[in-house]
Structure 1
């Protein structure tokens, strides 16, 4: 397929998306479809189309162009001029949701991270498309036993349907797209269904559209080749963590929902990274718990916001490393270290003299972590100066301007912690690619 034809197909796909939205809005007016039903119809249609992407485009770049164009269209449809018209098919629900953006983002990230392994792309997107829609339909129609999620609720019946549909989807995908033995297929399918159900049940503001497919993809990449015994041990550890976190979370004043979200976050960290690289992100959760206790902010769901921040940082750096070919795990560690430092600085407002000690501890932890990683992961090391700059920025700003972090604390501290490592990473990768390009020209 020629380049021009692929560009034309990508443009036609965006127009088709707008056409589907127009049809759904027409049905909504004529048949009185609720806002949630309109959103789910768009969700299913978008997901089904996304499943075709590996076969529609022989090259990868048109897919990323298509996703970028789709996200731009969604952004325009959020403008007041369109929000009550065509845009209502996506975000007419009353609750705050970023689901349409996160769905497009997750499709792009899954397509990037799955590489040539079709199973790693198809299974997560199929679960997100089919199981999520089936659960919503069952919960809306038959749900009687409800449980609270953020400022809304979900139904036990919907979660059961989600588990069953996910299990069936996983079995079918493994049978047709893998060569694993039946025992491993069954164990992996059960774990995918259980883990996926927990992620979907605990998600909020549409974050299941991001955490569910990417969480499943990371789990598959990490444990696809694990033995049956290793999978059984992993399952036992997961449910043990769920039980133990429930006890600890209650003592820390966390809600049951937040506690389960923390379990999912820690499990994803352990699945995606080596143990040493999970220390600083886990310290972020601990530092946040300390900061919100000592100096509460006005965010209604700050305990969930910190998990979202960690997830976006982790997925973002993982995608950056895969897209550029330059491993970004050290930079994820720097971001987590900076975020932990900012939260600790907030907690130590009353005793600022203790901040340098906390910064020293974080610096020592990072110094210990780096040699545990491979040479490929440490290609940019030593990053001592960058680590010190990051610690200085994230410690000084909350102490000098504490009032800045009384509102939207997690968002502001995350951006503050991200700026130094992201700037250096972008500059280093660009310089390295430029050197390689010029070297090729000269040779």
Structure 2
């Protein structure tokens, strides 16, 4: 298929999406279909079409173009006078699910590369299990648990687990050569982890966290020996129990505690343990700052997990795109984010106490960074220690919150994330530019 035909197919795909929405909207008026069912019908249709994309397009670039066009269409559909937009946005709760679904399709396809099961399985779970859970919960749900902006049902989560388990078994059997017992254990873990992610997600973030979390988990652990898989499953169960016990002491809601479990497990499951230290310390520093210097954001405990996830996914994608390992830069970003929360945590102390405390924290963080870099393979330290970048990042993330803490009362996570990300990102881009990657 030549380039012109692939472009035409991409444009036709957008027309198919709009046509599907028009049909659903028309049927909803005839049969009095509710907004939630309308949204899930469009979700299922677009998801099933997305699964076929690797076979429809010989090249990858037209799919990325299609994703970009879809995002533009979704933006237009959010305009107040968009009739078709009400098919997606007629539900009462605020959701970014339409944008995140399109972004996840592009990212999953990019990260899966030639291992097609890493794309098909997560997108199939997102398409079928998520829709089945939502429809089952809204229709048959009788036992509910609360999340920050509503509630979800035990019945819906049970359906999600069952459908995900079936999808995982079929995909792994048909698309991999893994041993049968490994397939069973992996499928149960995928179903359990996926159910946990879906149950704790809010505002449509499951459309990103679920497929990318499953893809990264499978990419790292699909070929693990059976004892390692069983040990990982035990670790996940231990995380759940530990956070359930610790959450009340930290002042976390039950929903936030479940979100923290998911974040910690995913970070530890997909990277070497030393590279998970700073991301976990970010969560601890956030909990400290939330106690001593509360944020005025509506859901700060959820914001930090979103911020940490975006940093993690972003560095992963950038490293894969350039083929220059970004683990060290990811660790520096997490270190900066941790320092920012620590600076806010001590703003109520006397100046001398703040200086001594933050100096000790910086010294400990730098020592920890040195240890982590020494534990990592040489390939991850290709740009050296980068102490000037670390110093610049520390000055930003410690100085601004210390001098103007009131500026971080709102949108704290977003502001600290930008401060922590700027020096390592600039350093990374300069380093690969110097190496000729960006020419």
Normalising TM by the smaller chain, what interval? Answer: over 0.9
Question: Alpha carbons of 1:434 and 1:167: their partners in 2 closer, same or farther (altered >3 Å)?
Answer: closer
Question: Alpha carbons of 1:427 and 1:20: their partners in 2 closer, same or farther (altered >3 Å)?
Answer: farther
CA distance in 1, matches of 2:121, 2:392: 42
CA distance in 1, matches of 2:304, 2:391: 23
Give the equivalent residue in structure 2 for 1:364.
367
Give the equivalent residue in structure 2 for 1:100.
98
Residue among 327, 333, 336 paired with 1:335 = 333
Q: Describe the SS at the equivalent of 1:95.
A: coil
Give the equivalent residue in structure 2 for 1:306.
304
Alignment of 1:31-46 (within 5 A): 31-46=31-46
Give the equivalent residue in structure 2 for 1:223.
221
CA distance in 2, matches of 1:10, 1:324: 26
CA distance in 1, matches of 2:26, 2:379: 54
Is the 8 Å Cα contact of residues 292 and 348 (structure 2) preserved in structure 1?
no
Q: Which runs of 5+ in 2 are unaligned?
A: none
User: What are the superposed Cα offsets for residues 282-304 of structure 1, whole Å, 9 maximum, x if unpaired?
Assistant: 00000000000001111121111
Residue 246 in structure 1 maps to residue 244 in structure 2: yes
Residue among 365, 370, 374 paired with 2:377 = 374
Is the 8 Å Cα contact of residues 21 and 87 (structure 2) preserved in structure 1?
yes
CA distance in 1, matches of 2:32, 2:386: 58
Residue 145 in structure 1 maps to residue 148 in structure 2: no
Alignment of 1:249-260 (within 5 A): 249-260=247-258
Give the equivalent residue in structure 2 for 1:441.
none
Is the 8 Å Cα contact of residues 219 and 268 (structure 1) preserved in structure 2?
yes
Question: Alpha carbons of 1:434 and 1:110: their partners in 2 closer, same or farther (altered >3 Å)?
Answer: closer
CA distance in 2, matches of 1:226, 1:239: 19
User: What are the superposed Cα offsets for residues 334-358 of structure 1, whole Å, 9 maximum, x if unpaired?
Assistant: 1111111111111111233232322
Aligned-pair CA distance for 1:430 = 3.3
Give the equivalent residue in structure 2 for 1:207.
205
CA distance in 2, matches of 1:248, 1:69: 45
Q: Describe the SS at the equivalent of 2:152.
A: strand
Residue among 191, 194, 202 paired with 2:192 = 194
Give the equivalent residue in structure 1 for 2:425.
422
CA distance in 1, matches of 2:173, 2:163: 15
Q: Tell me which moved more, 34-43 or 239-248.
A: 34-43
Q: Tell me which moved more, 421-430 or 154-163.
A: 421-430
Aligned-pair CA distance for 1:108 = 1.1
Question: Alpha carbons of 1:23 and 1:430: their partners in 2 closer, same or farther (altered >3 Å)?
Answer: farther
CA distance in 2, matches of 1:425, 1:76: 34
TM-score between both structures, scaled by the size of structure 2? 0.96
CA distance in 1, matches of 2:16, 2:426: 37
Give the equivalent residue in structure 2 for 1:67.
67
- Over the residues paired in the alignment, what is the CA RMSD in angstroms? 1.4
Q: Describe the SS at the equivalent of 1:355.
A: helix
Residue among 136, 142, 147 paired with 2:134 = 136
Give the equivalent residue in structure 2 for 1:58.
58
Q: Which runs of 5+ in 1 are unaligned?
A: 438-443
TM-score between both structures, scaled by the size of structure 1? 0.95
CA distance in 1, matches of 2:246, 2:437: 50
Is the 8 Å Cα contact of residues 218 and 271 (structure 1) preserved in structure 2?
no
Aligned-pair CA distance for 1:434 = 5.2
Give the equivalent residue in structure 2 for 1:321.
319
Residue 384 in structure 1 maps to residue 387 in structure 2: yes
User: What are the superposed Cα offsets for residues 362-400 of structure 1, whole Å, 9 maximum, x if unpaired?
Assistant: 222212211222222112223111011001001111112
Give the equivalent residue in structure 2 for 1:232.
230
User: What are the superposed Cα offsets for residues 309-364 of structure 1, whole Å, 9 maximum, x if unpaired?
Assistant: 11111011101111111111111111111111111111111233232322222222
Q: Describe the SS at the equivalent of 2:366.
A: helix
Residue 397 in structure 1 maps to residue 383 in structure 2: no
Q: Tell me which moved more, 421-430 or 187-196.
A: 421-430
Give the equivalent residue in structure 2 for 1:126.
124
CA distance in 1, matches of 2:12, 2:268: 41
